[in-house]
Amino acid sequence: MLIADEHPIVREGLATLINRTFDMQVVAEASNGQEAVEKYAAQSPNIALLELRLPIMNGVETVMSICAKEPAARLIVFTTCQGEEDIYRALKAGAYGYLFKNTSLNELVECIRAVAQGKRWIPPAVAAQLGKRVADRGLTFRETEVLRAVTNGKSNKEIGALLDISEATVKVHMTHILEKLNVTGRTEAINVAFRRGLVHMDPVAAA
């Protein structure tokens, strides 16, 4: 098994718990997405346990990259990210399972065994969030770009210059964004965007 998580203490703790299970063994660890892709290719583990918030390449990009080279890869997202967009993107990218980090060890072991057998593992809490995403009208790529710029504090004029579109076009995109998110203003849109996983805090800005 491969474990990919930015934090050494998380990797060490997971490896210790998993290695205590008689039919499981951790053969590789990675601290970022790029390293996870490289070690997966080198070790060919039966299962990979991936955090979504990975440096260099995020979890979704990592899943996509691994699956592009190995379509039959059995990947499990084990993360703190509970936004419906995070879940939707990870599963669409090719993950077999999705677990929140507040799950029990027993459920994690059950998930690993099920995915190793080629089964999908979507717990009720994850399924509920995924259902919200499926029911919602998704944002287009351009609308997501505009929303990301809004969360970074950019004005309509600045967004237009950044994306090489007119300010009027930015306003149209914003109208569609507010409508799709069912909100009335930018502040509320930003809050919903972070909660749903539509955008993430820039690690540099958050530092």
Q: Which of 99, 134, 169 is the last residue of a domain?
A: 134
- pLDDT for residue 38: 96
pLDDT tens digit string along 74-111?
999 999 888 777 888 899 899 999 999 999 999 999 99
Residue % of the chain over a pLDDT of 70: 93
Query: Residue 133: what pLDDT?
Result: 61
One domain, residues 106 and 173: no
Q: With H, G, I as helix, E, B as strand and everything else as coil, classify residue 4.
A: strand
- Give the domain CATH number at 18: 3.40.50.2300
Query: Coil, strand, or helix at residue 48?
Result: strand
Q: According to the model, what pLDDT value does residue 182 have? A: 81
Both 114 and 151 in one domain: the answer is no
Mean pLDDT confidence for 167-191: 88
Same domain, 128 and 193: no
Q: Is the pLDDT of residue 72 over 70?
A: yes
d(CA 170, CA 155): 10
% of the chain at pLDDT higher than 90: 62
Q: Which residues span the domain enclosing 11? A: 2-134
Would you place residue 204 in the very low, low, confident or very high pLDDT band (cuts 50, 70, 90)?
very low
Cβ-contact 99, 123 below 8 angstroms: yes
At 193, the pLDDT band (50, 70, 90 cuts) reads: confident
My answer on whether 22 and 60 are in the same domain is yes
Could you report the per-residue pLDDT of 13-69, keeping only the tens digit for each? 999 999 999 999 999 999 999 999 999 999 999 999 999 999 999 999 999 999 999
* pLDDT at res. 177: 87
* Three-state helix/strand/coil letters over the chain: CEEECCCHHHHHHHHHHHHCCCCCCCCEEECCHHHHHHHHHHHCCCCEEECCCCCCCCHHHHHHHHHHHCCCCCEEEEECCCCHHHHHHHHHHCCCEEEECCCCHHHHHHHHHHHHCCCCECCHHHHHHHHHHHHCCCCCHHHHHHHHHHHCCCCHHHHHHHHCCCHHHHHHHHHHHHHHHCCCCHHHHHHHHHHHCCCCCCHHHHC
Count of structural domains within the chain: 2
Mean pLDDT of 3-21: 95
